[in-house]
Amino acid sequence: MPAELFTKPSNSKWVLSYYEFIDLGAEKMTKKIMVLAVAILCLAGLVKSESAFSLEITPFDSFNQSPLVAIYGLPGPGNFLLLPEGRTEAALNTVLSSNHTEHNEVREQIILDGETTRFTLGVRHAFSRRWEVGLKLPYINHSGGFLDSFIENYHQAFGFPQGGRDQAPRNRLLYRYRRDGIERLRLGASDSGLGDLRVTTAWQLHEKRADHQGITANFGLKLPTGESDQLRGSGSTDISLWFAGGTGGRLAEGKWASYGSAGLLFLTEGDVLPEQQRTWVGFGSLGLGWMPFTGLSLKVQADAHSSFFRDSDLKEIATPAVQLILGGTLSFSATTTLDIGVAEDLSVNTAPDVSFYLSLRQGF
């Protein structure tokens, strides 16, 4: 592999300082406002008042889609109100993520350049008023994708930095990490297949549906059913425990809700960078939703977690991650809803440049 693949673009130092989390800058915030405006217009255009149905404000079922993170059992926020007793919900979640980062240090070099699409079929059932169980089985595709041209043109049109994306081969797939001259990880060819199976269960600790209030305790188990050498799994068995809570109310302008979650993830030793993998990871989410009229809710949510690896000077490997998701939920019937969201890395290079979320849920 040519050494220039790991050469920093001349303006990379400026780009990194520009994008630091605590100093996003006016253009960064403008970008997010524009994304939110587009999401609002799209959602509002799809909803018809005569066919809209009531729905609750629920968190995005989201987590960091970095190819070095999504292989582990990091859960989404979870719901603070469980399904009614005897009810079942099936969901098809689709996440399309575009990754691009290149970083070169004295001992380490990394390239994460490609697109990953994750299709997850999920089902959960409430066995009682306070207890439900769920299963999630993902199908994962890694490829060079098709979004590079769109993202480059978008950045150029609004004057945003390319971050070296326009210097790299277009629609390339290369997930690669080298340390001390040894290649520790490489995926350079398109691949598809099943990922790691997840089992979840949740208990309703507190419930006040009339006020849209609730607290749940959640447990997750991720089993190593995916191929770790193709980055469709980690090779580890992961256990997660977290609490989710939320509250809401009514205003003259519609319903509102705030929610959050926090927990710990325990990892057994996996196959991906096992010498650097951590055993414990902390994670959490915060979100706010507003339902201006029946059938449509708009949401903003931040997901964060501590690093999954140690002994590295690279942000992509050993820096905590924060991502922001903007979008909302549509209802097509009393039991059918669709989440639409766009996520971007606030802590740059710790999550994909952009991820697009679609989650179709059907209740029975």
Domain that holds residue 346: 3-363
**Which whole-number Å values give the CA distances from 342 to 62, 147, 219, in the listed order?**
10, 14, 27
Strand 198-208 to 191-194 pairing: unpaired
Gap between the Cα atoms of 234 and 56, Å rounded: 35
Two tokens, residue 54: 């009531």
Per-residue DSSP letter, 180: T
Q: Whose CA is closest to 174, among 225, 224, 94, 231?
A: 231
Per-residue DSSP letter, 51: G
Number of structural domains in the chain: 1
* Angle, CA 328 vertex, CA 341 and CA 74 arms, to 5°: 50
Report DSSP letters for 86-145, one per residue: T-EEEEEEEEEEEEEEEEE-SSEEEEEEEEEEEEEEEEEEEEETTEEEEEEEEEEEEE--
**Which whole-number Å values give the CA distances from 179 to 246, 301, 312, 344, in the listed order?**
43, 35, 9, 28
Q: What is the CATH number of the domain that holds 252?
A: 2.40.160.40
Note down pLDDT in tens along the chain; length 364 residues: 444 343 334 443 333 333 343 333 334 444 444 444 444 445 444 444 333 334 689 999 999 999 999 999 999 999 999 999 999 999 999 999 999 899 999 999 999 999 999 999 999 999 999 999 999 999 999 999 887 777 766 666 666 555 666 667 878 999 999 999 999 999 999 999 999 999 999 999 999 988 889 999 999 999 999 999 999 999 999 999 999 999 998 888 889 999 999 999 999 999 999 999 999 999 999 999 999 988 899 999 999 999 999 999 999 999 999 999 999 999 988 889 999 999 999 998 999 989 999 999 999 9
